[in-house]
Structure 1
Amino acid sequence: MTTLADPAIIAEPAPQRTAPRKTGKKAALLVALILGGCFSALPVVWMLASSFKRNSEIFEFPPRLITPGFSFDAYTTILTDPVKLRFFLNSYVVALSVTVLTLVVAVLAAYAFSRYEFWGKKTINVVVVSVQAVPPITLLIPYFGLMVGLRLYNTYQGLILTYMVFTLPYAIIMMTGYFNTLPKELDEAVKVDGAGPMTALWRILVPISVPGLVSVGVYTFMIAWNEFLFALTLTRTEDMRTVPIGIQLLMGQHSYEWNEMMAMSILGCIPVLLLFLFFQRYFIGGMTAGAVKI
Structure 2
Amino acid sequence: MGVSIALVIGSLFAGFPVFWMLSSSFKANSEIFQFPPRIITENFSFDAYTTILCDPVKVRFFVNSYVVSLSVTALTLIVAIFAAYGFSRYEFRGKRALSMIIVTVQAVPPITLLIPFFGLMVTLKLYNTYQGLILTYMVFTLPYAIIMLTGYFNTLPKELDEAVKVDGAGALTALWRILVPIAIPGIVSVGIYTFMIAWNEYLFALTLTRTDDMRTVPIGIQLLMGQHSYEWNEMMAMSILGCIPVLILFLFFQRYFIGGLTAGSVKS
Quote how far apart the aligned CAs of 1:67 are: 2.6
Q: Does structure 1 residue 254 correspond to structure 2 residue 231?
A: no
Equivalent position SS for 1:112: helix
1:155 aligns with 2:129: yes
**Structure 1: 5+ residue stretches without partners:** 1-26, 287-294
- Summarize the alignment of residues 18-167 of structure 1 with structure 2, pairs less than 5 Å apart: 27-167=1-141
8 Å contact 2:189–2:258 — kept in the other structure? no
Task: Report the CA distance between 1:68 and its aligned residue.
Answer: 3.8
Q: 1:135 is matched by which residue type in structure 2?
A: P
Query: Which secondary structure state, in structure 1, belongs to the residue aligned with residue 183 of structure 2?
Result: helix
Please report the RMSD computed on the Cα atoms of aligned residues, expressed in angstroms.
Answer: 0.9
> Which of 227, 245, 258 is residue 201 of structure 2 equivalent to?
227
Indicate the residue corresponding to 1:205 in structure 2: 179
TM-score by length of 1: 0.87
**CA shift for structure 1 position 94:** 0.1
For 1:169, the equivalent position in structure 2 comes to 143
Q: How many residue pairs align between the two structures?
A: 260
Query: CA deviation digits over 1:268-290, x for unaligned, max 9?
Result: 0000000000001123549xxxx
Deviations 1:239-292 (A, max 9, x none): 000000000000001100000000000000000000000001123549xxxxxx
1:277 to 236, 246, 251: 251
For the residue of structure 2 that corresponds to 1:108, the secondary structure is helix
Q: TM-score, normalised to structure 2's length? A: 0.96
% identical equivalent positions: 81
CA distance in 2, matches of 1:130, 1:279: 30
Q: Which residue of 2 aligns with 1:185?
A: 159
Larger Rg: 1
Write the distance in 2 (CA, Å) between the matches of 1:150 and 1:65.
Answer: 50
What one-letter code is carried by the residue in structure 2 that aligns with 1:128?
I
Read off the aligned partner of 1:84 and give its amino acid letter. Answer: K
